[in-house]
């Protein structure tokens, strides 16, 4: 892995995170009455169609011969389902905090256990810094009983994210096209969530609903995961998981600028810490690139 390829991988994952971060604002502006489950379903269905188009054929079908692609598809669907279940049970703040905070740790540790990629000290530090920043950004949740079911769902979503990200990086390491891997797994996940799309209500038939679905499906999923896939080619799963902390940062900025939401001084500090974590990790990955390959054990 060269400095140029690692830099391109980092920029691709950060670009994907930026597009992921637009989802909340788009939903709030256009389809406030739509259920989270139906939004996730339509997003996956349209995104999967877009990824299939990008493969320029159906060569990805051969991937269904391996059990890993089925497990990856299940991971993608489970991530969507359990994340929105966590938000529904525990609230947006707690559900987002649990899922997004746990995802980098789950991804990095699973990659260490499964793929033998030991996280570097820079990754540990950047991930801890970014998660602290996320906690400050989200802030203290409103008073009320702790919903353990929602917390459990959030951790399950994080674990599901770790599974499909690590499988994706493993399959691309073995020579599969990242776009084909994503197209095959997303087609499976879209079929799993199809019932939520069929019972989504009338929002999808409105002009605002169609606009939102097209943006979330083809931009926030197809293009975003195409960029995500470019990162999978050269970065390990743990690095990808931590770089995706840029998503809540972008979502917060858009909420302030477009939706007029307020942010506290502590929230600003949280944003700065997340940004610092992203910069530190990006520099570390680029600087170590001439000396390591993704499949090697990273110890420094």
Whether residue 128 is contained in a domain is answered as: yes
- Please determine, for residue 273, whether its predicted confidence score (pLDDT) is greater than 90: yes
Degrees to nearest 5, angle at CA 297 with 293 and 300 = 95
- Please determine, for residue 294, whether its predicted confidence score (pLDDT) is greater than 80: no
**Among 146, 133, 147, residue whose Cα is nearest residue 263:** 133
Q: Which pLDDT score is estimated for 299?
A: 30
Q: Which pLDDT score is estimated for 117?
A: 82
Q: Find the Cα–Cα–Cα–Cα dihedral 216, 10, 230, 220, rounded to 10°.
A: 0
Structure tokens given for 123: 């990754």
Kindly tell me the number of DSSP H helices and DSSP E strands found in the chain. Answer: 13, 0
Overall domain count for the chain: 1
Residue entry with tokens 């540990």: 124
Q: Which pLDDT score is estimated for 291?
A: 43
Rounded CA-CA distance 175/170 in Å is 9
Whether residue 296 is contained in a domain is answered as: no
Whether residue 197 is contained in a domain is answered as: yes
Q: Which pLDDT score is estimated for 295?
A: 42
Segment 42-60, tens digit of pLDDT: 999 999 999 999 998 888 9
Whether residue 14 is contained in a domain is answered as: yes
Question: If you average pLDDT over residues 256-263, what whole number do you get?
Answer: 86
Whether residue 227 is contained in a domain is answered as: yes
Segment 2-21, tens digit of pLDDT: 666 888 999 999 999 999 98
Segment 91-144, tens digit of pLDDT: 777 788 889 999 999 999 999 998 788 899 999 999 999 999 999 988 766 555
Rounded CA-CA distance 274/94 in Å is 18
Question: If you average pLDDT over residues 179-208, what whole number do you get?
Answer: 92
pLDDT band of 224, cuts 50, 70, 90: very high
Domain hosting 285: range is: 3-291
Confirm if 74 and 189 have CB atoms less than 8 A apart.
Answer: yes
Q: Which pLDDT score is estimated for 163?
A: 97
Q: How many CA atoms lie within 13 A of 259 on its CB side?
A: 20
Rounded CA-CA distance 55/52 in Å is 5
The DSSP call for residue 218 is I
Residue 235: strand, helix, or coil: coil
Whether residue 297 is contained in a domain is answered as: no
């Amino acid at each position: 892995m060269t400095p140029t390829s690692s830099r391109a991988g980092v920029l691709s994952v950060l670009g994907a995170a930026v597009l992921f971060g637009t989802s909340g604002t788009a939903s709030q502006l256009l389809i406030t009455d739509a259920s989270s489950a139906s939004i996730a379903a339509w997003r996956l269905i349209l995104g999967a169609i877009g990824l299939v188009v990008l493969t320029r054929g159906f060569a990805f079908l051969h991937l269904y011969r391996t059990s890993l692609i089925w497990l990856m598809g299940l991971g993608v669907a489970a991530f969507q389902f359990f994340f929105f279940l966590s938000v529904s049970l525990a609230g947006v703040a707690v559900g987002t905090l649990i899922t997004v905070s746990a995802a980098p740790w789950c991804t990095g540790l699973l990659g260490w256990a499964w793929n033998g990629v030991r996280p570097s000290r820079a990754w540990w530090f950047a991930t801890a810094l970014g998660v602290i920043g996320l906690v400050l950004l989200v802030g203290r949740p409103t008073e009320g009983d702790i919903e353990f079911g929602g917390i459990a769902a959030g951790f399950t979503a994080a674990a599901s994210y770790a599974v499909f990200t690590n499988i994706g990086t493993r399959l691309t390491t073995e020579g599969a096209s990242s776009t084909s891997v994503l197209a095959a797994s997303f087609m499976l996940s879209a079929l799993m969530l199809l019932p939520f799309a069929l019972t989504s209500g009338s929002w999808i038939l409105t002009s605002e609903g169609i606009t939102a679905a097209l943006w979330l499906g083809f931009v926030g999923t197809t293009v975003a995961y195409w960029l995500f896939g470019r990162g999978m080619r050269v970065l390990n799963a743990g690095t990808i998981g931590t770089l995706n902390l840029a998503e809540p940062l972008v979502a917060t900025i858009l909420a302030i600028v477009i939706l007029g939401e307020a942010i506290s001084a502590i929230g600003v500090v949280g944003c700065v810490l997340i940004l610092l974590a992203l910069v530190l990790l990006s520099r570390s990955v680029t600087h170590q690139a001439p000396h390591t390959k993704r499949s090697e054990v990273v110890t420094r």
